[in-house]
Amino acid sequence: METIFNKNKEEHPEPIKAEVQGQLPTWLQGILLRNGPGMHTIGDTKYNHWFDGLALLHSFTFKNGEVYYRSKYLRSDSYNCNIEANRIVVSEFGTMAYPDPCKNIFAKAFSYLSHTIPEFTDNCLINIMKSGDDYYATSETNFIRKINPQTLETLEKVDYNKYIAVNVATSHPHYDSAGNILNMGTSIVDKGKTKYLLFKIPSSVPETEKKKSCFKHMEVVCSIPSRSLLQPSYYHSFGITENYIVFIEQPFKLDIVKMATAYIRSVNWASCLAFHKDDKTWFHFVDRKTKKDVSTKFYTDALVLYHHVNAYEEDGHIIFDIIAYTDNSLYDMFYLKKLSKDFEENNKLTSIPTCKRFVVPLQYDKDAEVGSNLVTLPTSATAVKEKDGSIYCQPEILCEGIELPHINYGYNGKKYTYVYATEVQWSPVPTKIAKLNVQTKEMLHWRADHCWPSEPIFVPSPDAREEDDGVVLTCVVTSDPKEAPFLLILDAKTFKELGRARVNVEMHLDLHGMFIPEKALKTETE
C-alpha cells in the first residue's frame, strides 16, 4: 500500500515556477532550503523506517515576488551505492543491509567484521547547516555533505572523525554571534572513556590558510563524561545561553554492546536504543568561559526529548524550554509498516509531546533547608533541595501537543516570547501550525482540511522592531490527491495567511531546514 510516506518521490532539479496566490512581502528574497527522506524503495528492497529514506533536498526561491521550486536527491555515497546495486546495500539506523546472497563466503565474513564498529551512512537527511559561506546537509552520524543551496548539487563529504573523536553528532548546532558553529557529539569508548563533546567549527580560517577548510580548525571546547561507559544517552539537540551550554543526559540510551553485535543478530541499530523509565534525567550546565560543568547535581524524572526550544538566564537561574515525552513511542510510530492507509486512526502516540519549562537556580542559598524550593522567580517550576545536596527539578507546563519548535534565532539564548511549532496531539503527523506565547501561554493557530504542514520557519523582516515582526514559512503537503502541495506564508504577528506558492509536484514530507536570505548567498561566479 503506497502512502504519502513510502511512495518514492521524483526529483525536479530544474526550477519550476510556483503559482503565487495572495501578496508576498517585497522584502522576502532568498531561499527556503529543506531536507527529509524521499525514497524508501530501491529495486525489490524497502527501508523499514521512514527516517531511513534517502535524503531529498528541496527549495523555494523567492525572487522579486516570484517563487521557484526545485528538488534533488542528495548524491551521497549511500545513495550512489544503493542505486548502482539497485538494492539497499548501506545500513541506516532502522534498516540493516546485508550483502548480496550471491557473494562468496569470504566477502560475507569480512562484512560481519566491518559492522562491529560500523562505518555509518552519509545519507544526510535531517537538516541544513551553515558553515562560513557554505551549506551542508546533516544527519546524526559523523558525516556531513556540502551542497550548493542554489542548484541543490551535492559536493564534498566531510568526516568530523578526521578532526575530533566523535562517532555521532547532532543535527541541531548553534551559531554564536561571530557565526562559529557550536555542536555536540558523542565519543564512544575512546581511550577507555565515553563522553559527550562540545565542539566548535570556526566561521572563517586565517588569511594565510585561505585554501584550508574550517574543519581543520575544529576544536573540542569541553567534554562531559557519560554516566555509563557502554550506554551513552541519545540526544538530538542541546541548549545554549549567554554563559552556559545546557545538555540533558536522558535515560534514552544507546547500548554499545548490542550495537556491535546487531549485524550478526540480524537486528537494526534502532533496537539498541532503550528507554529506562525508572532512571533519572540529569541536567548539565557547562560554563562557556571556564569550560567546566556546574558541580551541583540537578535532575528530573525520566523523560525523552528531541528538541530544545530555547534557554536563557535570569536572576541567577537558567530557564530552559524543551519538548518532552514520557516514553519513546515517537520513533516506533514511523516504522513504515505502521504508516499504512489508516494510520491516523490506528497509530496513536502513547505520550503526548509537552512543552516544559525548567527553572534551575544556579545561585542559591547553600544553607537552604532540605525539602525547600530554591526557585525565586514567579513560576510553578520548582527545584527542591535533597538530603544528598542534589536538586530535584519539576517543570512548568507551557502547552501540550506541539513539536518541531522554531524561534526568532535573534533571541536564541535570550529571554524570549514566541515559539512557532507544528501541532500534533495524539497522532505523529502535524495537522496545524501554532504560535505560542511562552509568557501568557496564549496560542494562535493555522489549519486547513487535508493539510499536513512541516516545521515552521520564522524569517524576520529587515526593519523588525519586535520579536515577531516577520513571516512564518511552512511546506504543506495535502492528503487530498486533487489538491497540489504549497508553501504557506503567514504574517508572524497576526498568524493571518499572506499567501501560498502552489507547485504541481508530489512534494515529500520533510524534517528540518533554514531560510537563506539573498545577501547570504554567494553569487555563481564567487
β-pairing, 252-254 with 273-275? antiparallel
Task: Quote the cell numbers at residue 71.
Answer: 528538488
Q: Amino acid identity of 23?
A: Q
> Binding site annotation covers 58?
no
512 phi, psi to nearest 5 deg:
-140, 170
The burial of 524, by beta-carbon neighbours within 10 Å (0-12 exposed, 13-18 middle, 19 or more buried), is given as exposed
Distance of CA 305 to the CA centre of its chain: 11
Burial 432-452 (b: 16+ CB within 10 A, else e): bbbbbebeeeebbebebeebb
* CB-based contact 67:20 (threshold 8 Å): yes
* CB-based contact 15:68 (threshold 8 Å): yes
* C-alpha separations of 339 from 4, 226, 346, 422 in Å: 9, 35, 9, 19
The rounded distance, in Å, linking the Cα atoms of 350 and 327 is 8
The rounded distance, in Å, linking the Cα atoms of 18 and 77 is 32
* CB-based contact 318:414 (threshold 8 Å): no
Q: Where do runs of H (alpha helix) occur along 355-458? A: none
- For the residues of 101-161, what is the DSSP string, one character each? TTS-HHHHHHHHHHTTS--------SEEEEETTEEEEE-SBSEEEEE-TTT--EEEEEEGG
> Binding site annotation covers 276?
no
> Binding site annotation covers 307?
yes
The rounded distance, in Å, linking the Cα atoms of 500 and 467 is 23
Task: Quote the cell numbers at residue 146.
Answer: 556540502
> Binding site annotation covers 508?
no
Question: Which residue matches cell numbers 535524503?
Answer: 55
Annotated binding site for Fe cation: 172, 236, 307, 512
Annotated binding site: 172, 236, 307, 512
